[in-house]
Amino acid sequence: MKNLLKALSYFLVIGSGLVTIFRLNKTNKQLMARETTSFQVKQTLEAIAATLEKTQESERSTSAEAKQSSLDSVENEDLTSKDELKREVKEEAPPLIKANKNARGEYIYHVPGGVFYDRTTPVEWFHTEEEAQAKGYRKSAR
């Protein structure tokens, strides 16, 4: 009789342990689903922000082209004002280097002509590789 009670108590302990494990597994699955959704929402928001920034950059680029055409039309102004306008046009050129964070959490930048350049959804844009490196990004391997 004692042995039977011992065996039953062991089964109860093992059974309650299994129930606890199954409950934790279900909770883990729910948490993972929430994290995945949060990550996807964050990526979407970053892509929207990058698109907005790119749109603003293209508007600036259009403005720079207008300044360039006004530079071409100016003939009688002195050389220093022409140089200033040229400098402004160069400074407002749209950035071409795309930067983002990959799935492993690494900060990577992509230059035009790179394998992943067209597929990259940028989080940040840079004019030069030095700017990207100064912000902590490394160059894409391909």
* Helices 79-91, 2-73: crossing angle, 10 deg rounding: 160
Edge-to-edge, what's the strand order for the sheet holding 97-101? 124-126, 97-101, 107-110, 138-139
59-89 confidence digits (pLDDT tens): 777 766 766 666 566 555 555 565 665 566 5
Indicate the helix (H) or strand (E) that contains 126.
Answer: strand 124-126
Note the pLDDT of residue 24: 81
135 has pLDDT over 70? yes
Q: What is the mean pLDDT of residues 96-110?
A: 91
Note the pLDDT of residue 34: 79
34-54 confidence digits (pLDDT tens): 777 777 777 778 888 888 888
How far apart are the C-alpha atoms of 60 and 103, rounded to whole Å? 31
More confident residue, 107 or 67: 107
